[in-house]
Amino acid sequence: MEYRQLGRSGLKISTITMGTMTIGGGGKFAQVGDVGVADASRHVDLCLDAGVNLIDTADIYSTGVCEEIIGEVLGGKRKDGVLIATKARFSMGPGPNDGGLSRHHLISACEASLKRLKTDVIDLYQVHEWDGQTPLEETMEALDTLVRQGKVRYIGCSNYSGWHIMKALGVSALDKRQRFVSQQIHYTLEAREAEYELVPISIDQGLGILVWSPLAGGLLSGKHRRGQSPEGTRQLAGWNEPPIRDEERLWKIVDILVAIAAERGVSPAQVALAWLIGRQAVTSVIIGGRTEQQFRDNLAAAGLRLTEEERELLEAVSRPPVIYPYWHQLWTAKDRLGKADLSLLGPHV
């Protein structure tokens, strides 16, 4: 297992993070999985034995039950260097202040998570989604307070757009508050939109990237093929997150994954994960599962290194469409080339 620094922080995390959305199974998450305490304990042990040092969860997962199970499972394992990341933003009750990123909700949500997780500190506390009703100054001040109180060590964001991130970083700098060290995003061979704004921002601003659903909800695992989905999968249970907007492109990507995997004697899932782990600015990919076999297979991706030829095949089949105007492409190229090579772009630059 390789360990990478999380953004500009000094914290080092494993290139594979244990995801926990399958734990608990309450509400809509019953479609994803209903892993109980005994199985969760085995999955945690598998991950820790493989060198994973970060477990990612959220208060909304099974409306707190997931955090409770993790707290019960970890127990004394916290002394072994296990790091915990959780998130807050979504409504946890019927009240008008039971959700959002207000000072009121963030502080109460953090304290509730600490209690459920049976710990006195959260290593990475992430805002789960943008809140357009709460001033960013209030949100960043609340996160800064939690760090200074010793309840949180680092802060990050999840599912933010580029301008959301830049505005938040600007507020932190202006007010001399704690800044985000990471962002958690959706980024796969099938969904590479993050490369337009989010990945460049991470490189420029020194943010670590944690990737959620790196196998596109299992669609890149190789188990799903054209017109075929195995019984018991979340797709057949009605789960459609993240959405697939071009099925034909998806299946072409799966075909290449399957071919490379067969050649290397590994699973298509390992190939997809290894591609992500090797991408610029990616710190860690978050894996989840309902069975030990799923975890064992995914964890093996930590040791897989793709060749340049394999990466070129995956690049060719998954390259995202050009959506930015011509002037943006030119100025991006200018940044890459440097002053000495500007003549290559022609007299119009």
Mean pLDDT of successive 10-residue stretches along the chain, which has 349 residues: 97 98 76 85 96 97 94 80 96 93 97 96 97 96 98 97 96 96 96 93 96 94 73 48 82 95 97 96 96 96 96 93 62 49 39
User: Can you give the chain as a three-state secondary structure string?
Assistant: CCEEECCCCCCEEECEEEECCCECCCHHHHHCCCECHHHHHHHHHHHHHCCCCEEECCCCHHHHHHHHHHHHHHHHHHHHCCEEEEEECCCCCCCCCCCCCCHHHHHHHHHHHHHHHCCCCEEEEEECCCCCCCCHHHHHHHHHHHHHCCCEEEEEEECCCHHHHHHHHHHHHHHCCCCCCEEEEECCCCCCHHHCCHHHHHHHHCCEEEEECCCCCCCCCCCCECCECCCCCCCCCCCCCCCCCCHHHHHHHHHHHHHHHHHHCCCHHHHHHHHHHCCCCEEEEEECCCCHHHHHHHHHHHHCCCCHHHHHHHHHHHCCCCCCCHHHHHHHHHHHHCHHHHHHHCCCC
Q: Are 313 and 333 part of one and the same domain?
A: no
What tokens were used for 310?
A: 């394999």
Q: Residue 322: its pLDDT value, please? A: 72
Q: Are 124 and 246 part of one and the same domain?
A: yes
Evaluate the CA torsion angle 216, 109, 181, 287 in order and state its sign: negative
First to last CA, the chain: 45
Q: Are 53 and 130 part of one and the same domain?
A: yes
**8 Å CB contact between 33 and 44:** no
Q: Are 289 and 326 part of one and the same domain?
A: no
Q: Are 306 and 334 part of one and the same domain?
A: no
**8 Å CB contact between 169 and 180:** yes
Q: Are 69 and 149 part of one and the same domain?
A: yes
Q: Are 224 and 335 part of one and the same domain?
A: no
Instruction: Write down the pTM of the prediction.
Output: 0.88
Q: How many domains does the chain have?
A: 2
Q: Residue 311: its pLDDT value, please? A: 95
61 is catalytic: yes
Q: Are 314 and 338 part of one and the same domain?
A: no
**Could you say which of 61, 125, 154, 160 is catalytic?**
61
Q: Residue 186: its pLDDT value, please? A: 95
Distance of alpha carbon 52 from its chain centroid, rounded? 15
Q: Residue 337: its pLDDT value, please? A: 45
Q: Residue 342: its pLDDT value, please? A: 41
Q: Residue 220: its pLDDT value, please? A: 94
Q: Residue 245: its pLDDT value, please? A: 81
Q: Residue 179: its pLDDT value, please? A: 97
Q: Are 287 and 330 part of one and the same domain?
A: no
Q: Determine the residue type at 44.
A: V
Q: Residue 241: its pLDDT value, please? A: 65
Q: Are 130 and 99 part of one and the same domain?
A: yes
Q: Residue 25: its pLDDT value, please? A: 78
CATH number, residue 218: 3.20.20.100
- Structural domain for 254, as ranges: 3-318
Q: Are 270 and 169 part of one and the same domain?
A: yes
Q: Are 303 and 332 part of one and the same domain?
A: no
Q: Left, alpha or beta for 62 (phi > 0: left; psi -120 to 50: alpha)?
A: left
